[in-house]
Amino acid sequence: MFNQRAPLDLAFQALSDPTRRAMVDRLSRGPASVSELAQPLAMSLPAVVQHVQVLEASGLVRSRKVGRVRTCHLEPAALRTVEAWITSRRRSWERTKDLLDALGAELRHQRASAAGS
Amino acid sequence: MFNQRAPLDLAFQALSDPTRRAMVDRLSRGPASVSELAQPLAMSLPAVVQHVQVLEASGLVRSRKVGRVRTCHLEPAALRTVEAWITSRRRSWERTKDLLDALGAELRHQRASAAGS
């Protein structure tokens, strides 16, 4: 199911869960094993593994198994893609708002001039 | 259901759908009526209204009804909250990576010095 959805769909979906955001937050401070990710969480290890799998399917996290330990790390490119999408819309809105404000000021100025003439 | 979830949960969830991202993209270029939002979308008006409701519940979009027309606009504060969460983790990861790289370089230097002594 996951692979049929767009990368942004999967990344935003992955980040919509507080447990997965806590994992991304932890991994932003350095790689961690699945057990280390599980430690602060009040849930079973299989539930933790399932969250890690959602993060991996979204591309936000990669993991590598060495011996019996699976270590996870953030994938900054995926994080940057999500960030760029948001930043672009926020900037677009700010440009729009500046234009609307300028237009509003111009209209008020014209009305005041017309009233005064 | 929506009100019991954290604002970030709702915002990321709202943005995980391509139709809703298209609406946010459109609204980043200025306010639009629900009909205008529906125009480029191949779906029924009730389906469009449902997507708008998800966006409103997430706080990313506000709407106002004047007469028979409901006009939607982006809520930049909610967009900035999502952006800030991502940016903070991306920066944290970059700081971590710089430290790990510096540590790796230092270890290689120490090994090379030990091998040469």
* pLDDT tens digits for range B28-76: 999 999 999 999 999 999 999 999 999 999 999 999 999 999 999 999 9
Asked if A71 contacts A33 with a C-beta cutoff of 8 angstroms, the reply is yes
Angle at A24 between CA B26 and CA A85, to 5 degrees: 15
Q: What is the pTM of this model?
A: 0.88
Residues of chain A whose C-beta is under 8 A from some C-beta in B? 6, 8-10, 12-13, 15-18, 21, 24-25, 27-30, 74, 76, 79-80, 82-83, 85-90, 92-94, 96-97, 100
Residue B70 amino acid letter: R
Chain B positions touching A88 (Cβ under 8 A) are 28
Sheet holding B69-74, edge to edge: B32-33, B69-74, B61-66
- What is the per-residue pLDDT across A57-113, written as a single tens digit (0 to 9) for each? 999 999 999 999 999 999 999 999 999 999 999 999 999 989 988 999 999 999 999
Chain centroid to Cα A52, Å, comes to: 16
CB–CB contact B86 A89 (8 Å): no
Q: What residue in B sits closest to A87 (Cα-Cα)?
A: B83
Checking ipTM against 0.85, whether it exceeds it is: yes
By Cβ distance, the residue of B17, B24, B79 closest to A9 is B17
